[in-house]
Protein backbone atom coordinates (compact mmCIF):
# COMPACT_ATOMS: atom_id res chain seq x y z
CA UNK A 1 0.00 0.00 0.00
CA UNK A 2 1.64 3.28 -1.04
CA UNK A 3 1.39 6.54 0.87
CA UNK A 4 -1.46 7.74 -1.34
CA UNK A 5 -3.47 4.59 -0.70
CA UNK A 6 -2.81 4.60 3.07
CA UNK A 7 -4.26 8.08 3.44
CA UNK A 8 -7.18 7.36 1.18
CA UNK A 9 -9.83 7.02 3.84
CA UNK A 10 -8.46 9.76 6.12
CA UNK A 11 -9.01 13.45 5.71
CA UNK A 12 -6.77 14.47 2.81
CA UNK A 13 -5.13 17.75 1.83
CA UNK A 14 -6.20 19.61 -1.31
CA UNK A 15 -3.13 18.44 -3.23
CA UNK A 16 -3.63 14.83 -2.12
CA UNK A 17 -7.31 14.98 -3.10
CA UNK A 18 -6.39 16.19 -6.59
CA UNK A 19 -3.68 13.52 -6.95
CA UNK A 20 -6.05 10.74 -5.82
CA UNK A 21 -8.74 11.86 -8.26
CA UNK A 22 -6.24 12.01 -11.10
CA UNK A 23 -4.82 8.60 -10.23
CA UNK A 24 -8.06 6.73 -9.61
CA UNK A 25 -10.58 8.31 -11.98
CA UNK A 26 -9.79 7.61 -15.60
CA UNK A 27 -12.59 9.11 -17.63
CA UNK A 28 -12.23 8.12 -21.26
CA UNK A 29 -11.29 11.24 -23.23
CA UNK A 30 -12.98 11.23 -26.59
CA UNK A 31 -11.54 13.28 -29.43
CA UNK A 32 -13.92 14.67 -32.01
CA UNK A 33 -13.49 16.68 -35.17
CA UNK A 34 -15.57 19.82 -35.23
CA UNK A 35 -16.20 22.71 -37.57
CA UNK A 36 -14.32 25.78 -36.39
CA UNK A 37 -17.64 27.63 -36.04
CA UNK A 38 -18.51 25.29 -33.19
CA UNK A 39 -15.27 25.06 -31.20
CA UNK A 40 -15.29 28.26 -29.14
CA UNK A 41 -14.22 27.31 -25.58
CA UNK A 42 -13.23 23.75 -26.55
CA UNK A 43 -9.81 22.31 -25.74
CA UNK A 44 -7.56 21.57 -28.70
CA UNK A 45 -6.58 17.89 -29.01
CA UNK A 46 -3.61 18.23 -31.40
CA UNK A 47 -1.08 20.85 -32.46
CA UNK A 48 -2.34 22.85 -35.44
CA UNK A 49 0.14 24.25 -37.96
CA UNK A 50 -0.60 26.61 -40.83
CA UNK A 51 -0.13 25.00 -44.26
CA UNK A 52 0.02 28.39 -45.93
CA UNK A 53 1.53 31.83 -45.53
CA UNK A 54 -0.86 34.55 -44.36
CA UNK A 55 -1.24 36.66 -46.35
CA UNK A 56 -0.54 34.11 -49.08
CA UNK A 57 1.07 36.72 -51.40
CA UNK A 58 2.62 40.21 -51.21
CA UNK A 59 -0.33 42.55 -51.30
CA UNK A 60 -1.29 46.19 -51.36
CA UNK A 61 -2.68 47.67 -48.12
CA UNK A 62 -4.09 50.68 -50.03
CA UNK A 63 -5.96 51.69 -53.14
CA UNK A 64 -3.13 53.30 -55.15
CA UNK A 65 -0.44 52.55 -57.71
CA UNK A 66 2.40 50.04 -57.70
CA UNK A 67 5.68 50.15 -59.61
CA UNK A 68 9.36 49.32 -59.40
CA UNK A 69 10.62 52.36 -57.50
CA UNK A 70 13.40 54.54 -58.72
CA UNK A 71 13.76 56.99 -55.85
CA UNK A 72 14.49 59.91 -58.20
CA UNK A 73 11.57 59.21 -60.52
CA UNK A 74 8.21 60.90 -59.81
CA UNK A 75 6.22 60.02 -62.98
CA UNK A 76 5.04 56.56 -64.13
CA UNK A 77 2.82 55.41 -66.96
CA UNK A 78 -0.34 53.58 -65.90
CA UNK A 79 -0.55 50.37 -67.97
CA UNK A 80 -3.09 48.21 -66.16
CA UNK A 81 -5.58 48.00 -63.27
CA UNK A 82 -5.41 45.16 -60.73
CA UNK A 83 -8.41 44.35 -58.53
CA UNK A 84 -8.38 42.20 -55.36
CA UNK A 85 -8.50 38.58 -56.49
CA UNK A 86 -6.79 39.29 -59.86
CA UNK A 87 -3.27 38.45 -60.93
CA UNK A 88 -1.73 41.38 -62.79
CA UNK A 89 0.82 41.27 -65.60
CA UNK A 90 4.52 42.09 -65.18
CA UNK A 91 5.38 45.75 -64.63
CA UNK A 92 8.32 47.11 -66.59
CA UNK A 93 10.59 49.98 -65.57
CA UNK A 94 8.77 53.32 -65.78
CA UNK A 95 5.36 51.65 -65.72
CA UNK A 96 2.84 51.34 -62.94
CA UNK A 97 -0.49 49.62 -62.28
CA UNK A 98 -3.52 51.00 -60.52
CA UNK A 99 -3.95 48.55 -57.65
CA UNK A 100 -6.80 48.06 -55.17
CA UNK A 101 -6.51 47.25 -51.47
CA UNK A 102 -5.87 43.52 -50.99
CA UNK A 103 -4.73 42.86 -54.57
CA UNK A 104 -1.53 40.89 -55.22
CA UNK A 105 1.54 42.93 -56.12
CA UNK A 106 2.47 41.97 -59.70
CA UNK A 107 5.92 40.82 -60.79
CA UNK A 108 8.25 43.73 -61.33
CA UNK A 109 6.61 46.02 -58.74
CA UNK A 110 8.07 46.59 -55.28
CA UNK A 111 6.44 49.78 -54.01
CA UNK A 112 2.93 51.20 -53.55
CA UNK A 113 1.84 54.82 -53.32
CA UNK A 114 -1.62 55.83 -52.08
CA UNK A 115 -4.11 57.15 -54.60
CA UNK A 116 -4.50 60.45 -52.71
CA UNK A 117 -0.73 61.15 -52.89
CA UNK A 118 -0.61 61.28 -56.71
CA UNK A 119 -2.08 63.29 -59.57
CA UNK A 120 -3.41 61.32 -62.55
CA UNK A 121 -2.77 63.14 -65.80
CA UNK A 122 -3.40 61.62 -69.24
CA UNK A 123 -2.45 58.03 -68.45
CA UNK A 124 0.42 58.95 -66.10
CA UNK A 125 0.73 59.45 -62.34
CA UNK A 126 2.88 62.20 -60.92
CA UNK A 127 3.75 62.94 -57.29
CA UNK A 128 5.93 65.24 -55.26
CA UNK A 129 6.35 63.36 -52.00
CA UNK A 130 9.43 61.26 -51.28
CA UNK A 131 9.00 57.55 -51.54
CA UNK A 132 10.96 54.64 -50.07
CA UNK A 133 11.55 51.54 -52.14
CA UNK A 134 9.41 48.71 -50.69
CA UNK A 135 6.94 51.00 -48.95
CA UNK A 136 3.30 50.05 -48.44
CA UNK A 137 3.59 46.35 -49.18
CA UNK A 138 2.22 43.70 -46.83
CA UNK A 139 4.67 40.84 -47.25
CA UNK A 140 3.64 37.25 -47.87
CA UNK A 141 3.59 35.36 -44.52
CA UNK A 142 3.91 38.59 -42.51
CA UNK A 143 1.02 37.59 -40.21
CA UNK A 144 1.51 33.81 -40.04
CA UNK A 145 4.21 31.91 -41.89
CA UNK A 146 3.76 28.51 -43.49
CA UNK A 147 4.58 25.84 -40.88
CA UNK A 148 4.00 28.17 -37.92
CA UNK A 149 2.06 26.69 -34.97
CA UNK A 150 -1.37 28.29 -34.60
CA UNK A 151 -2.62 26.27 -31.64
CA UNK A 152 -1.07 23.70 -29.31
CA UNK A 153 -2.72 20.64 -27.78
CA UNK A 154 -4.36 21.78 -24.54
CA UNK A 155 -5.05 25.36 -25.67
CA UNK A 156 -8.55 26.71 -25.14
CA UNK A 157 -10.06 27.96 -28.38
CA UNK A 158 -10.91 31.66 -28.26
CA UNK A 159 -12.35 33.91 -30.95
CA UNK A 160 -8.86 35.06 -32.01
CA UNK A 161 -7.81 31.47 -32.69
CA UNK A 162 -10.93 30.83 -34.75
CA UNK A 163 -10.09 33.88 -36.88
CA UNK A 164 -6.56 32.61 -37.56
CA UNK A 165 -7.74 29.05 -38.29
CA UNK A 166 -10.19 30.45 -40.83
CA UNK A 167 -7.45 32.67 -42.33
CA UNK A 168 -5.33 29.53 -42.75
CA UNK A 169 -8.19 27.80 -44.57
CA UNK A 170 -8.71 25.19 -41.83
CA UNK A 171 -12.37 24.17 -41.63
CA UNK A 172 -12.27 21.49 -38.94
CA UNK A 173 -9.92 20.59 -36.09
CA UNK A 174 -9.72 17.87 -33.45
CA UNK A 175 -10.90 18.89 -29.99
CA UNK A 176 -11.60 17.03 -26.78
CA UNK A 177 -15.26 16.20 -26.34
CA UNK A 178 -16.60 18.02 -23.33
CA UNK A 179 -16.93 16.13 -20.08
CA UNK A 180 -20.53 15.37 -19.22
CA UNK A 181 -21.92 15.92 -15.75
CA UNK A 182 -25.14 15.65 -13.76
CA UNK A 183 -25.93 17.36 -10.50
CA UNK A 184 -28.15 15.64 -7.96
CA UNK A 185 -29.29 17.75 -5.02
CA UNK A 186 -30.50 15.63 -2.16
CA UNK A 187 -32.60 16.87 0.75
CA UNK A 188 -36.36 16.86 1.18
CA UNK A 189 -36.13 20.55 2.15
CA UNK A 190 -34.61 21.65 -1.18
CA UNK A 191 -36.84 23.29 -3.81
CA UNK A 192 -35.88 24.78 -7.14
CA UNK A 193 -36.10 28.52 -7.86
CA UNK A 194 -39.33 29.40 -9.60
CA UNK A 195 -41.44 27.42 -7.13
CA UNK A 196 -43.57 29.09 -4.48
CA UNK A 197 -41.69 29.35 -1.18
CA UNK A 198 -42.88 27.05 1.60
CA UNK A 199 -41.90 27.35 5.25
CA UNK A 200 -38.85 25.31 6.27
CA UNK A 201 -37.71 24.78 2.68
CA UNK A 202 -34.59 26.21 1.08
CA UNK A 203 -33.99 27.17 -2.53
CA UNK A 204 -31.47 25.10 -4.44
CA UNK A 205 -28.47 27.46 -4.47
CA UNK A 206 -26.08 24.51 -4.37
CA UNK A 207 -27.37 22.96 -7.59
CA UNK A 208 -27.34 26.17 -9.54
CA UNK A 209 -23.94 27.45 -8.46
CA UNK A 210 -22.32 24.05 -9.17
CA UNK A 211 -24.12 23.92 -12.53
CA UNK A 212 -22.57 27.21 -13.60
CA UNK A 213 -19.16 26.33 -12.17
CA UNK A 214 -19.13 23.06 -14.12
CA UNK A 215 -20.06 24.97 -17.26
CA UNK A 216 -17.30 27.49 -16.66
CA UNK A 217 -14.87 24.53 -16.68
CA UNK A 218 -16.35 23.54 -20.06
CA UNK A 219 -18.37 20.53 -18.89
CA UNK A 220 -21.78 19.81 -20.42
CA UNK A 221 -24.24 19.57 -17.57
CA UNK A 222 -27.28 17.56 -18.51
CA UNK A 223 -29.50 18.30 -15.56
CA UNK A 224 -30.07 19.50 -12.03
CA UNK A 225 -32.02 16.69 -10.36
CA UNK A 226 -33.70 17.00 -6.96
CA UNK A 227 -33.94 13.89 -4.82
CA UNK A 228 -35.51 13.39 -1.42
CA UNK A 229 -33.53 11.85 1.48
CA UNK A 230 -34.04 8.19 0.61
CA UNK A 231 -31.15 5.77 0.13
CA UNK A 232 -32.84 3.76 -2.59
CA UNK A 233 -34.02 6.78 -4.55
CA UNK A 234 -30.68 8.60 -4.37
CA UNK A 235 -28.66 5.53 -5.42
CA UNK A 236 -31.07 4.79 -8.27
CA UNK A 237 -30.82 8.39 -9.45
CA UNK A 238 -27.02 8.26 -9.33
CA UNK A 239 -26.87 4.97 -11.25
CA UNK A 240 -29.34 6.14 -13.88
CA UNK A 241 -27.36 9.33 -14.50
CA UNK A 242 -23.99 7.59 -14.56
CA UNK A 243 -24.95 5.95 -17.83
CA UNK A 244 -24.72 9.25 -19.69
CA UNK A 245 -22.41 11.25 -17.40
CA UNK A 246 -18.67 11.15 -16.76
CA UNK A 247 -19.16 12.94 -13.47
CA UNK A 248 -22.06 12.91 -11.02
CA UNK A 249 -21.99 15.54 -8.31
CA UNK A 250 -24.37 15.23 -5.39
CA UNK A 251 -25.02 17.66 -2.57
CA UNK A 252 -26.24 17.04 0.96
CA UNK A 253 -26.21 14.15 3.36
CA UNK A 254 -22.47 13.83 4.03
CA UNK A 255 -22.48 14.87 7.71
CA UNK A 256 -23.63 12.87 10.75
CA UNK A 257 -27.38 13.68 10.85
CA UNK A 258 -30.03 10.95 10.93
CA UNK A 259 -30.70 11.48 7.25
CA UNK A 260 -27.11 11.93 6.09
CA UNK A 261 -27.24 8.85 3.94
CA UNK A 262 -24.49 9.36 1.38
CA UNK A 263 -22.03 6.73 2.74
CA UNK A 264 -24.81 4.07 2.50
CA UNK A 265 -25.87 5.40 -0.88
CA UNK A 266 -22.36 5.05 -2.27
CA UNK A 267 -22.10 1.55 -0.89
CA UNK A 268 -25.37 0.66 -2.58
CA UNK A 269 -24.18 1.92 -5.99
CA UNK A 270 -21.15 -0.38 -5.72
CA UNK A 271 -18.78 2.56 -6.27
CA UNK A 272 -15.39 2.54 -4.52
CA UNK A 273 -14.69 5.38 -2.10
CA UNK A 274 -11.29 6.91 -2.87
CA UNK A 275 -11.21 9.58 -0.18
CA UNK A 276 -13.44 11.19 2.41
CA UNK A 277 -13.19 14.81 3.48
CA UNK A 278 -10.67 17.45 2.49
CA UNK A 279 -8.73 19.28 5.17
CA UNK A 280 -10.11 22.77 4.48
CA UNK A 281 -12.57 25.37 5.75
CA UNK A 282 -15.38 26.01 5.01
CA UNK A 283 -16.68 22.53 4.68
CA UNK A 284 -14.39 19.89 3.39
CA UNK A 285 -17.00 17.25 4.18
CA UNK A 286 -17.29 15.14 1.06
CA UNK A 287 -17.04 11.65 -0.39
CA UNK A 288 -15.20 10.93 -3.62
CA UNK A 289 -15.99 7.59 -5.24
CA UNK A 290 -15.25 5.92 -8.54
CA UNK A 291 -17.25 3.45 -10.59
CA UNK A 292 -16.47 2.33 -14.14
CA UNK A 293 -13.74 4.98 -14.30
CA UNK A 294 -16.31 7.69 -13.68
CA UNK A 295 -16.44 10.06 -10.72
CA UNK A 296 -19.14 10.38 -8.09
CA UNK A 297 -18.41 13.41 -5.94
CA UNK A 298 -20.68 13.89 -2.94
CA UNK A 299 -20.43 17.41 -1.58
CA UNK A 300 -21.95 19.12 1.40
CA UNK A 301 -25.48 20.48 1.32
CA UNK A 302 -24.13 23.79 2.58
CA UNK A 303 -23.44 25.59 -0.73
CA UNK A 304 -20.38 27.50 0.56
CA UNK A 305 -18.86 24.22 1.76
CA UNK A 306 -19.64 22.48 -1.55
CA UNK A 307 -18.14 25.37 -3.50
CA UNK A 308 -14.91 25.42 -1.50
CA UNK A 309 -14.27 21.76 -2.41
CA UNK A 310 -15.23 22.47 -6.02
CA UNK A 311 -12.94 25.51 -6.32
CA UNK A 312 -9.95 23.94 -4.58
CA UNK A 313 -10.09 20.31 -5.76
CA UNK A 314 -12.63 19.58 -8.49
CA UNK A 315 -11.57 22.58 -10.61
CA UNK A 316 -8.04 21.23 -10.94
CA UNK A 317 -9.31 17.71 -11.68
CA UNK A 318 -11.47 19.19 -14.44
CA UNK A 319 -8.56 21.20 -15.86
CA UNK A 320 -6.43 18.10 -16.26
CA UNK A 321 -9.17 15.67 -17.28
CA UNK A 322 -10.67 18.00 -19.85
CA UNK A 323 -7.28 18.11 -21.59
CA UNK A 324 -6.14 21.57 -20.55
CA UNK A 325 -3.44 20.33 -18.17
CA UNK A 326 -2.41 21.30 -14.65
CA UNK A 327 -2.65 24.92 -13.71
CA UNK A 328 0.50 26.66 -12.50
CA UNK A 329 0.38 27.83 -8.87
CA UNK A 330 -0.59 31.49 -8.82
CA UNK A 331 0.37 33.94 -6.12
CA UNK A 332 -0.90 37.46 -5.56
CA UNK A 333 -0.33 40.38 -3.24
CA UNK A 334 -3.09 40.51 -0.65
CA UNK A 335 -5.01 43.77 -0.25
CA UNK A 336 -6.95 44.50 2.92
CA UNK A 337 -7.03 42.16 5.88
CA UNK A 338 -8.60 38.87 6.88
CA UNK A 339 -8.96 38.58 10.60
CA UNK A 340 -10.19 35.08 11.19
CA UNK A 341 -7.74 32.47 12.39
CA UNK A 342 -8.28 28.92 11.26
CA UNK A 343 -6.62 25.63 12.13
CA UNK A 344 -7.18 24.51 8.54
CA UNK A 345 -6.47 26.23 5.25
CA UNK A 346 -9.49 28.35 4.42
CA UNK A 347 -10.68 29.08 0.88
CA UNK A 348 -12.48 32.38 0.42
CA UNK A 349 -13.82 34.28 -2.56
CA UNK A 350 -11.57 36.99 -3.95
CA UNK A 351 -11.15 39.46 -6.75
CA UNK A 352 -7.75 39.42 -8.48
CA UNK A 353 -6.57 42.33 -10.60
CA UNK A 354 -3.41 43.59 -12.22
CA UNK A 355 -2.07 46.99 -11.30
CA UNK A 356 1.20 48.26 -12.75
CA UNK A 357 2.19 44.69 -13.83
CA UNK A 358 1.68 43.24 -10.32
CA UNK A 359 -1.10 40.79 -9.43
CA UNK A 360 -3.17 41.81 -6.42
CA UNK A 361 -6.09 40.09 -4.75
CA UNK A 362 -8.79 41.51 -2.55
CA UNK A 363 -10.86 39.32 -0.24
CA UNK A 364 -14.54 39.53 -1.13
CA UNK A 365 -15.35 37.82 2.13
CA UNK A 366 -14.90 39.95 5.26
CA UNK A 367 -15.41 36.84 7.44
CA UNK A 368 -18.17 38.56 9.39
CA UNK A 369 -20.75 35.90 8.55
CA UNK A 370 -20.35 32.14 8.56
CA UNK A 371 -22.19 31.14 5.42
CA UNK A 372 -21.68 33.92 2.98
CA UNK A 373 -22.73 32.99 -0.54
CA UNK A 374 -23.00 36.71 -1.28
CA UNK A 375 -19.20 37.02 -1.43
CA UNK A 376 -19.26 34.91 -4.60
CA UNK A 377 -20.68 37.82 -6.56
CA UNK A 378 -17.95 39.52 -8.62
CA UNK A 379 -15.36 36.97 -7.51
CA UNK A 380 -12.84 35.75 -10.04
CA UNK A 381 -10.69 33.54 -7.83
CA UNK A 382 -10.52 31.69 -4.57
CA UNK A 383 -7.87 32.75 -2.05
CA UNK A 384 -6.12 30.21 0.15
CA UNK A 385 -5.79 31.62 3.66
CA UNK A 386 -3.09 29.36 5.06
CA UNK A 387 -3.90 27.77 8.42
CA UNK A 388 -2.77 29.89 11.36
CA UNK A 389 -2.33 33.06 9.27
CA UNK A 390 -4.27 36.33 9.10
CA UNK A 391 -3.02 38.02 5.97
CA UNK A 392 -2.69 41.79 5.86
CA UNK A 393 -1.90 44.30 3.13
CA UNK A 394 1.13 43.25 1.11
CA UNK A 395 1.30 39.58 2.20
CA UNK A 396 1.74 37.00 -0.57
CA UNK A 397 -1.12 34.50 -0.82
CA UNK A 398 -1.92 31.57 -3.11
CA UNK A 399 -4.94 32.00 -5.33
CA UNK A 400 -6.81 29.74 -7.73
CA UNK A 401 -8.12 31.90 -10.59
CA UNK A 402 -11.56 30.96 -11.93
CA UNK A 403 -11.83 30.44 -15.70
CA UNK A 404 -13.43 33.89 -15.99
CA UNK A 405 -10.22 35.53 -14.72
CA UNK A 406 -8.05 34.25 -17.59
N1 LIG B 1 -23.22 16.98 14.69
C2 LIG B 1 -22.66 17.63 13.66
N3 LIG B 1 -23.46 18.27 12.82
C4 LIG B 1 -22.92 18.93 11.75
C5 LIG B 1 -21.52 18.95 11.59
C6 LIG B 1 -20.73 18.24 12.48
O7 LIG B 1 -19.48 18.22 12.38
N8 LIG B 1 -21.34 17.57 13.51
N9 LIG B 1 -21.02 19.68 10.54
C10 LIG B 1 -21.81 20.79 10.09
C11 LIG B 1 -21.27 21.38 8.91
S12 LIG B 1 -19.91 22.36 9.15
C13 LIG B 1 -21.84 21.26 7.69
S14 LIG B 1 -21.20 22.11 6.33
C15 LIG B 1 -23.04 20.46 7.49
C16 LIG B 1 -22.88 19.52 6.31
O17 LIG B 1 -24.01 18.78 6.21
P18 LIG B 1 -24.39 17.94 4.94
O19 LIG B 1 -23.30 18.04 3.95
O20 LIG B 1 -24.77 16.60 5.37
O21 LIG B 1 -25.58 18.74 4.28
P22 LIG B 1 -27.09 18.83 4.73
O23 LIG B 1 -27.22 18.54 6.15
O24 LIG B 1 -27.86 18.05 3.76
O25 LIG B 1 -27.33 20.38 4.47
C26 LIG B 1 -26.58 21.38 5.14
C27 LIG B 1 -27.31 22.72 5.01
O28 LIG B 1 -27.43 23.13 3.67
C29 LIG B 1 -28.82 23.23 3.24
N30 LIG B 1 -28.89 22.72 1.88
C31 LIG B 1 -28.89 21.44 1.50
N32 LIG B 1 -28.92 21.34 0.16
C33 LIG B 1 -28.96 22.60 -0.32
C34 LIG B 1 -29.00 23.15 -1.61
N35 LIG B 1 -29.00 22.36 -2.72
N36 LIG B 1 -28.99 24.50 -1.76
C37 LIG B 1 -29.01 25.30 -0.66
N38 LIG B 1 -28.95 24.81 0.61
C39 LIG B 1 -28.95 23.50 0.78
C40 LIG B 1 -29.56 22.38 4.22
O41 LIG B 1 -30.90 22.71 4.31
C42 LIG B 1 -28.76 22.61 5.51
O43 LIG B 1 -29.11 23.85 6.06
O44 LIG B 1 -23.34 19.69 8.61
C45 LIG B 1 -23.27 20.40 9.84
N46 LIG B 1 -23.75 19.58 10.89
O1 LIG C 1 -18.33 22.39 6.84
MO2 LIG C 1 -19.35 23.66 7.32
O3 LIG C 1 -18.85 24.44 5.97
O4 LIG C 1 -18.29 24.61 8.39
O5 LIG C 1 -20.64 24.83 7.34
Cα–Cα distance, 267 to 373 (Å, whole number): 31
How is the chain split into domains, by residue range?
3-29+177-321, 33-48+151-176, 58-148, 330-401
Confidence band for 404, pLDDT divided at 50, 70 and 90: confident
Per-residue pLDDT tens over the stretch 296-322: 999 999 999 999 999 999 999 999 998
Is the pLDDT at 249 greater than 60, yes or no?
Answer: yes
CB of 34 closer than 8 Å to CB of 160 = no
Please name which ligand lies nearest the alpha carbon of 342.
2
Work out the pLDDT band at 158, boundaries 50, 70, 90. very high
> Of all atoms in ligand 2, which is nearest to the CA of residue 283?
1
pLDDT of residue 254: 93
Measured CA to CA, the distance from residue 27 to residue 103 in angstroms comes to: 51
Using a pLDDT cut of 90, give the percent of the chain over it.
84
Pocket lining for ligand 2, CB < 6 angstroms: 282-283, 285, 300, 302, 305
Residues having CB closer than 6 A to ligand 1 are: 185, 187, 189-190, 202, 204-207, 251-257, 260, 283, 285, 300-303, 305
Mean pLDDT value across residues 241-257: 94
| Whole-prediction pTM | 0.86
Name the residue at shortest CA distance from atom 30 of ligand 1: 301
Per-residue model confidence as pLDDT tens digits over 2-41: 444 444 456 999 999 999 999 999 999 899 999 999 999 9
Report which of residues 405 and 149 the model is more confident about.
149
Provide, rounded to the nearest whole percent, the portion of the chain with pLDDT above 70.
96
Fold entry, domain 3-29+177-321: Molybdenum Cofactor Biosythetic Enzyme; Chain A (3.40.980)
pLDDT(163) > 70: yes
| Integer angstrom CA distances of residue 132 from 15, 66, 69, 109 | 61, 12, 8, 13
pLDDT for res 372 = 75
At how many degrees (to 10) do helices 262-269 and 231-242 cross?
Answer: 50
SS3 content of the chain, % helix, strand, coil (to 5): 20, 30, 45
- State the alpha helices, DSSP H only, in 7-132: 14-24
Residues 6+ apart with CB under 8 A from 10: 275, 276
User: Average pLDDT in the 354-369 region?
Assistant: 86
* Residue from 398, 401, 379 nearest 387 by CA: 398
* Ligand nearest to the CA of residue 254, numbered in listed order: 1
Task: Report the C-alpha gap between 324 and 114 in whole angstroms.
Answer: 47
Average per-residue pLDDT for the chain? 93
**Helix or strand (DSSP H, E) at 264:** helix 262-269
Superfamily (CATH H level) for 33-48+151-176: Molybdopterin biosynthesis moea protein, domain 2 (3.90.105.10)
CA distance 287 to 17: 11
Going by C-alpha positions, the residue among 88, 75, 73, 63 that lies closest to residue 124 is 75
| 237-253: average pLDDT | 96
What pLDDT sits at residue 257?
84
Which CATH homologous superfamily contains domain 330-401? MoeA, C-terminal, domain IV (2.40.340.10)
Q: Which residues are CB-contacts of 123 (< 8 A; sequence separation ≥ 6)?
A: 77, 78
pLDDT at 282 over 80: yes
Say yes or no to pLDDT of 1 above 70.
no
Evaluate if residue 219 carries a pLDDT over 50.
yes
Output the DSSP codes for 162-197. HHHHHHTT--EEEEEPPPEEEEEEE-TTEE-TTSPP
| CA gap 60, 333 in Å, rounded | 48
CATH number for the domain whose boundaries are 58-148: 2.170.190.11
Which residue's alpha carbon is nearest to atom 19 within ligand 1? Answer: 300
pLDDT at 368 over 70: no
What's the confidence (pLDDT) of residue 371?
55
Question: What is the spatial distance between Cα 111 and Cα 40, in angstroms, rounded to a whole number?
Answer: 39
Q: Which of 237, 231, 208 is nearest to 221 (CA)?
A: 208
What pLDDT, in 10s, does the model give residues 93-149?
Answer: 999 999 999 999 999 999 999 999 999 999 999 999 999 999 999 999 999 999 999
Amino acid sequence: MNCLERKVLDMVSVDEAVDILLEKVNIERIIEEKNIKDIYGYIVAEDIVSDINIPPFDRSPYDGYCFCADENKKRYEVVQTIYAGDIGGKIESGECAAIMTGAAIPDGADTVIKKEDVKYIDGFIEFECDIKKGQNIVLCGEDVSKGEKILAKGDIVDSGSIGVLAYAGIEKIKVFKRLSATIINTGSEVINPGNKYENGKIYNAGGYILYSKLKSYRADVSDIVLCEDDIEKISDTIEKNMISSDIVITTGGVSVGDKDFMPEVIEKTGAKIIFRNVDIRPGGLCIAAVKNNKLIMCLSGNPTAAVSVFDSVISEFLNVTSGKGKKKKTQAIFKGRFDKNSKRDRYINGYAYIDDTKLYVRANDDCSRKARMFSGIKSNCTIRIKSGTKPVDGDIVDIIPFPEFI
